[in-house]
């Protein structure tokens, strides 16, 4: 849920594919569509997600290490978020 995890929406005009979004099938997370997947657990752009203040308060040591490829990865990992925690917005990431 939003209180525990993160919200995902498509982000346009980023990466070589021009779109970064979770893939949703039957209302459930099925993977990623992104031009820079490499070995990232969360190949999403920073503009694609949010997390609640409540989650941040539960994990006061959460941080975001600077890295060109892994900024999103580091904050979401330090918050203990899993892809299954996604709350899809934008009509299941279709808009």
CB count within 10 Å of CB 73 equals 18
73 catalytic per annotation = no
Task: List residues bridging with 32 in a β-sheet.
Answer: 22
76 and 83 Cβ atoms separated by less than 8 Å: no
Q: Apex CA 73: angle with CA 87 and CA 71, to 5°?
A: 120
Q: Which single residue is written with the structure tokens 């993160």?
A: 6
Of 4, 54, 72, 73, catalytic: 72
Instruction: Name the residues annotated as catalytic.
Output: 72
């Amino acid at each position: 849920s939003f209180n525990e995890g993160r919200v995902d929406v498509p982000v346009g005009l980023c990466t070589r594919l021009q779109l970064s979004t979770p893939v949703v099938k039957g209302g459930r997370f099925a993977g990623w569509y992104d031009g820079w997947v490499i070995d990232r657990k969360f190949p999403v752009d920073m503009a694609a997600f949010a997390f609640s203040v409540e989650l941040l308060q539960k994990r006061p040591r959460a941080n975001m290490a600077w890295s060109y490829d892994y900024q999103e990865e580091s904050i979401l990992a330090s918050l203990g978020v899993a892809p299954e925690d996604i709350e899809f917005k934008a009509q299941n990431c279709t808009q």
